[in-house]
Amino acid sequence: MTKGGKNKKIINIAVLVSGGGTNLQALIDAERSGIIKSGSIKLVLSNNRNAYALTRAENAGIPHDCITKSDCGGDVKLFEKRLMDRLDEAGTDLIILAGFMSILSADFIEHYRDRIINVHPSLIPSFCGQGFYGLKVHEAALEYGVKVTGATVHFVNEIPDGGRIILQKAVKIHDGDTPEKLQKRVMKQAEWKILPEAAEIVSAELLKGKEDH
């Protein structure tokens, strides 16, 4: 393998999505602009057929697929097996959860230990864990009256939002904020910046590990 040559290895990234895919778009844009250079998005997987994220993947020319729990008769083990089969078939090195609305089992996490990262719309350990997702996080921050919130990218382990933190970015709360306004600001000022940065950090680490072996 040569460094910087045609045979230069790269980390294969798969992005798991459920909704609109704004974080996926941030990752696609970051790869195109060279922020993410140690990895490349090779697959987008959704558990929701109507996810606009699938359209974003199609527009970007990225292979994409949808696997739902209902396809598997509600069998979570079968659902995860199909996810793993598709991920492994694509040679996935790193999984990025970008608004993926499904809690992954301990077996799934163990299969990809230290190779799954997630973005959460608060400064962990505040407003995180079971039940804190989407607008609920921002509703809780406003209700509590904090003056600063933000976003966190972390490794995924068996505890919801409990894995090692990779990056965090703070965002100020303004007077008159609604959960919707705050959600948009956190996305623009934090999530869309630190998720691509973290993807590059972890991809570079994984790449170095490959080169060392």
Q: Is 213 among the catalytic positions?
A: no
Tokens of 11: 């980390």
Q: Which residues, in sequence order, are bridge partners of residue 201?
A: none
* Nearest CA-CA partner of 133 in 107, 102, 156: 102
Taking every pair of C-alpha atoms in the chain, what is the biggest distance, in angstroms?
56
Q: At what angle do helices 135-144 and 179-186 cross, to 10 degrees?
A: 110
Tokens of 68: 């739902």
Active-site annotation holder among 120, 154, 174, 213: 120
Mapped onto helix, strand or coil, the DSSP state of residue 87 is helix
> From CA 117, how far away is CA 95, in angstroms rounded?
6
* Residue showing tokens 């994220």: 53
Catalytic residues: 120
